A = this chain, B = another copy of it.
Amino acid sequence: MEGYGRSSMKERRREVLASLEKLGYDVYRTIESGEFPYVSMPSRSTRNILYDPKLRQYVLGGQTVKRTARNIRHLRPLTQLIWVATIAHQLCSQGKTSTLRDVFYMAQAFEVDFVDQYESDDIITDLETVVGLPREDFNIYPEERSSIFGDLTIEYTVPGYEGRRINLLSHPDGFVIGPTLSTAEFVECGAERVIVIEKGAMFTRLVEEKAYEKFKAILIHTAGQPPRASRKLIRRLNRELDLPVYIFVDGDPWGMHIAMVIISGSANAAHITDLTTPDARWAGVYASDITRYKLPSDPLTEIDVKRLYELKNDPRYRSGIWSKEIDVFLQHRRKAEQEAFSRYGLSYIVDVYLKERMEELG
């Protein structure tokens, strides 16, 4: 339990500022004592990415790397890292957000040299690794936005909106999940579960079919692979409010993996441990649903099949429903979209399919 309660967002912000300041002080102190400054962090090389069965996600192992001003080849990334930390500190203390792209451009005013955005993104990932927090915690967001709808009252913590509340049932097209929603406190919740949906059209379908009433559910639209801000929000809904989470995606290896990333993270975010929701459940479309519900389907492409074999090599896919459904995919070699249920009319998906699935998953 992370212990997010009322006012915990402020504490969180203080912690973030404190860890950035610690990084600065450490460098400072080393310089003052006449030594070369350095920063140590866990290595993110493939060999140091391990699956932790207890945490049920990928984590970094014990190998560390050191960036030291003593080594001339380290000078550049070390300077960049310290600069990014300074910018992150500014953003947090001023209550402003920026994007990965903004950071790349901001660097130019400081004559901090980044060849391209890949380089600045990479340094931001270094900073995440050093302080052990996702970049969203120091107010650096990606471009993508997902959205939410359901019986949850939130209270904003951003400057200018502090203390204001809104109930997320009040706009049926959905509320964009951006920096203000991500940092809001949960005040009151009338929902009993969360349904995460891959596609916007299906999100709208579930709103119109009143899935939020029928299942007492908060609906979250990820728009494909979910941005980390929404993965974090899903985790918070699960941990802080104790809501079970169901993930409803297209019936293909890509949809399957969207569910898996929400549940147990991705290897390239192994340095961050609070984005996952290990107790979330993949709720479909399963490979076996295609035959069970006689869904309109398409043949798997070569790339789909290749992807399925890749997933088979991932330890998380080696047991349970994951391994079983991969085998079914490889057997019938077909895939189906969430919208395929429209074959049975627009209400079927909620009144029949999801109803049955929720009962099965319990």
Contact = CB atoms under 8 A, between A and B. Distances in A.
Interface of A: 96-99, 101-103, 105-106, 108-109, 141, 143-145, 147, 156, 158, 160-161, 164, 166, 170-181, 199-201, 204-205, 208, 210, 296, 337, 339-346
Q: Which of A97, A108, A172, A341 has the most CB of B within 10 A?
A: A172
A337 B102 CA distance: 10
A277 to B, nearest CB: 21
Nearest to A199: B143
Given A99-B201, A173-B177, A175-B176, 18 more contacts: A96-B346, A97-B204, A98-B205, A98-B342, A102-B339, A102-B346, A103-B342, A109-B345, A141-B204, A143-B200, A171-B171, A171-B176, A173-B175, A173-B176, A174-B176, A174-B178, A175-B175, A178-B204
B145 A158 contact: no
A5 to B, nearest CB: 22
Given A175-B171, A200-B145, A345-B106, A339 B166 contact: no
Nearest to A154: B171
Contacts of A344: 109
Given A98-B346, A201-B99, A342-B105, A171 B160 contact: no
A221 B271 CA distance: 33
A289 to B, nearest CB: 14
Nearest to A173: B178
Contacts of A175: 171, 173-176
Given A175-B176, A178-B173, A106 B200 contact: no
B180 A172 contact: yes
B166 A340 contact: no
A221 to B, nearest CB: 8
B141 A108 contact: no
14 contacts: A99-B201, A99-B204, A101-B337, A102-B339, A105-B339, A105-B343, A106-B342, A144-B200, A145-B147, A171-B175, A171-B176, A173-B175, A174-B176, A175-B176
Nearest to A340: B105
- List the 4 closest A-B pairs by CB distance, nearest first: A173-B178, A99-B201, A105-B342, A174-B176
Given A176-B171, A344-B109, A160 B201 contact: no
Contacts of A97: 204, 208
A172 B178 contact: yes
Given A102-B342, A145-B173, A339-B105, A179 B201 contact: no
Nearest to A164: B170
A338 to B, nearest CB: 9
A103 B144 CA distance: 27
A144 B199 CA distance: 10
Contacts of A170: 164, 166, 170
Contacts of A180: 171-173
Contacts of A341: 105
Contact of A179 (B108, B178, B181, B204): B204
